[in-house]
Amino acid sequence: MAAGALTAVTWQVIVGGPVTALDWPVHAFVDPRQPEGPLLWAAVATARLGQRLITIPLLVGLAIWAMRRGRGWRPLGAVLTGLGSLAVLGTLLKVGVGRSPPVLEVDTVSPGAGNIAAWVYALLVPGAPPFDGYVSFPSGHAANAALTYPLAAWLLFGANGVFPHARRLRYALGCSLLPVAAVGVLVTVLDYHWLSESVAGWLLGAVVLLVALLVLEARTPDRAAPPHQHAMSQVMADEPPGSG
């Protein structure tokens, strides 16, 4: 569902469909009303919760913690899968769609495989001129947040997490939606991205999150379940480990 919605939003951005109808009005509203002083500092600091300098260390640190508690390779595998998938899909979308950011006061889209070829050429060929295309769609901050904070909840309280506990997982997942929503809203309010780019970022993050969870929660056909999986089955039944 998330992949289909992301595909639909991407197509709408390319063709200038109804999904993008609010992009310019929202930009026209927020551009002259930028926050100032402490409010600006707080808004920028919150939006930076979607930066890789924060999200990567957080996820890798939680994965290593889970591994040290005997959860095997899956936590780190899930994190690397999620981050790698986001880097690849996000870059392909940004370069392939070629949308300009709202700060330029113009909304242009120049999609095509030629963009990707030019980007690869600039990246790999020594002395090549830098890639000069637009790369605003989708919002990387929104995508990073949508992957990071729900996945962090699973790394803490999921079956292969640090402290497996079903009820805490549900609560943590609910709380994780707060930074996800805040980052997507603020990159639009601060006029870094068009509204539809934040929506697409959320959807992209959801897609790669599902991929990461396939790795994290996959079960191997072992003869005996590891002790932490037995503990998780107990907390799923609201029983303290060691009772009964």
Q: What is the pLDDT of residue 242?
A: 41
Task: Give every residue of the chain whose pLDDT is below 50, as ranges.
Answer: 222-244
Q: Is the whole model's pTM more than 0.75, yes or no?
A: yes
Q: What is the pLDDT of residue 241?
A: 43
Q: What is the pLDDT of residue 1?
A: 87
Nearest CA to 164 among 221, 234, 222, 216? 234
Residue with tokens 């990387």: 140
HEC string for the chain: CHHHHHHHHHHHHHHCCHHHCCHHHHHHHHHHHCCCHHHHHHHHHHHHHHCHHHHHHHHHHHHHHHHHCCCCCHHHHHHHHHHHHHHHHHHHHHHHHCECCHHHCCCCECCCHHHHHHHHHHHHCCCCCCCCCCCCCCCHHHHHHHHHHHHHHHHHHCCCCCCCCHHHHHHHHHHHHHHHHHHHHHHHHCCCCCHHHHHHHHHHHHHHHHHHHHHHCCCCCCCCCCHHHHHHHHHHCCCCCCCC
Mean pLDDT (the chain, rounded): 91
